[in-house]
Amino acid sequence: MWVTLALLVGLFLSVSVAGAEPSGTTTYALVHLSDTQNLATRYPGTYDFTFSYLEGVKAHYNISAIIITGDLVNTWNKRSEWDAYAHARNKTTIPVYVIAGNHDTNSGKNYTYYSRYTGEPENNYVTAVEDFNLVGINYVAKSLTPQEFARLRLAINTSARNFTIIATHYYMNEKGTHSRLGKDIDRQLIVQPTLILSGHIHAYRITVDTKNGYPVIEDLTDYQNGEPGRQKNQDYSAGTLYTVTAVDGQVVKITSERLRIYPTRSPDDQRFLYYLTGYVPHDTPAPVSQPAMQAETLTVTMLTEDAGHLRGINNDLFGLYLAGDSIRDLSRWILRSP
């Protein structure tokens, strides 16, 4: 009986999920790396392997971009380290977007080698990456000027995209305390749902929060000394893999996985970080309301590291679904999916 029930539930879930995706749906991945400087100094072979590995799994995950939030090298004017980065970078055909860290530019004072080897100028930038606005903010000792924040904010506000990625070097520490730049980013640049990518501090932390009325995912990914919390000064490479679902060019779902690259190669459990409800593409009829199946609302300010394995739950903007809920509750969530 239990085997039959399990098969029926599995069939129901697979059919429900397959039928939940409207036309115009695309799914792709983005990879966040940061503070790879020790690979340039001590482990250039692992630097090469990091990019060749991502090239090897490009098709499997449909990786559209690699975003590196600074400190590509340890010494801003050491040619051998920059050569190690360039050699590794050429191991992949995936577009790579970088911003400058303090080690890359003599703490923001000299961009000569950084620009020569990356092709990126000293200026901050806003560009399009798939369905996102990508805001690249280079390292600054304190913060940006009001005029620079206004320029970046205007570029976001005038874009048709509904989600922003802000990539910067130092946004917060391992406890979630924000730098001066981080505080100003929160006040000045959160004008739509936002994913903030950062490094600088040797730690791994992903937090979901609400700021200025918008959902914000804060990501600190830094494996420069090995696995955070374990033995330091290790030959180690890892990052964060984001899987994105968009409908008609609008981001509706984001999940994350910790992607270990070297010496072990394995992703963590997938975590749902963002799920937009109520989105109805132009060619899809509105779903029938089912008040009896309304899911409970959860507090959204939490560390995903502490939350364990997460699945999606509906909220007006986004939500989280905690492991341990019953299959009936999971079925209820799927039935509510657009």
Look at residue 154 in the predicted model and tell me its pLDDT: 98
Which CATH number does the domain housing residue 76 bear? 3.60.21.10
Amino acid letter, 227: E
Give backbone dihedrals phi and psi of 51, rounded to 5 degrees, phi first.
Answer: -75, -35
Structural domain including 91 reads 25-268
- Write down the pLDDT at residue 278: 58
Q: Which pLDDT value is given to residue 279?
A: 54
Q: Is residue 292 part of a domain?
A: no
The tokens for 219 are 């990501």
Please indicate, yes or no, if residue 116 is contained in any of the structural domains. Answer: yes
310: closest CA among 258, 238, 248?
258
Q: Would 160 be classed as within a structural domain?
A: yes
In angstroms, rounded to a whole number, what is the distance separating the alpha carbons of residues 123 and 99? 10
Is residue 109 a part of any domain in this protein? Answer: yes
Split into its structural domains, the chain has a count of: 1
Q: What is the pTM of this model?
A: 0.79
Which residue's entry shows tokens 């999920």? 17
Q: Is residue 286 part of a domain?
A: no
Distance of CA 128 to the CA centre of its chain: 15
In a domain? residue 11: no
DSSP 3-state assignment of 256? strand
* In a domain? residue 311: no
Q: What is the DSSP letter of 233?
A: S
Q: Is residue 13 a part of any domain in this protein?
A: no
Query: Residue written as tokens 């910067």?
Result: 168
Residues of the chain with pLDDT under 50: 1-19, 280-338
